[in-house]
Amino acid sequence: MWLKRTVVACIFIPLLILIIWWGGAIFLGLVCLISAVALFEFYQGIKKKGQKPFLTEGISLGMLVPVSIYIWGDKTLPPVFILIIFCLFMRQFLKFEIKDAFTNIALTLGGILYICFLFSYVLILRGETSGTRLVITVFFATWLGDSGAYLIGRRWGRHKLWVRLSPYKSMEGFIGAVVVSCVAMFISRLWLSFSLFHTLALGLMIGTFGQIGDLFESMLKRELGIKDFGRILPGHGGILDRFDSLFFTVPLFYHYVKYLIT
């Protein structure tokens, strides 16, 4: 498993860094691709419980979020979400069915908010001063924290963190993730000029909320009765399994940098 994870990371991460560095429409395309695949996995997982979210409409409307941010900026999000909600209401209305109407709309919209909205913050962050370095930093600290949790939890994990959500995660792994994320943030001072206080605070925040994001996805998988949302990345599961931590850390990282540092 660790060999598969390493091989995939060695192929995927350099390509990801290159696309982040390029930015522009290529980076938008990558964000849309990741969001679309993750949303597809999310809806497919829900369908296994017998629910019927609007898969095609949900993915299509979800792409409006990153595209509108790229073209017009994040100030357009309120009217975009009004349009999305209106379209979902009309989609259900035109079915002329009452059964599961609220559930269909709520699950479809929930996937858009959880995946497309939260992950689109990478586009907003990329547009900031030193945006390329900021995006690379939050990916670096989040994924290094995930690796720290995995390795330290496997080697020294003795005390279960939250068995009902994830039977394999341990307190030692959680602490390891926070420590490794802090180390990653201190390494990032090679290319970012954050103070020691902000560096430590960001490391603690990324390590903590990265694991909370992972636990949140574990909670969803336990509810759906599945091990992974997909198998597209050998050793990692699906796209949603790989990016779940970033859905929590990227928005928090952006707001911290935007309002507490710059």
Instruction: List pLDDT tens digits, range 150-187.
Output: 888 888 867 787 767 776 788 888 999 999 999 999 99
The model's pTM: 0.91
pLDDT at 64 over 90: yes
Instruction: Report which of 178, 172, 192 is spatially closest to residue 144, judged by C-alpha positions.
Output: 178
166: its two tokens: 């994830």
pLDDT at 235 over 80: no
What's the pLDDT score for residue 92? 92
Q: How confident is the model at residue 226 (pLDDT cuts 50, 70, 90)?
A: confident
Q: What is the pLDDT of residues 128-156, one digit of tens each?
A: 999 999 999 999 999 999 988 888 888 88
Say which range, 111-125, 153-167, 184-198, 242-256, has the weakest mean pLDDT.
153-167
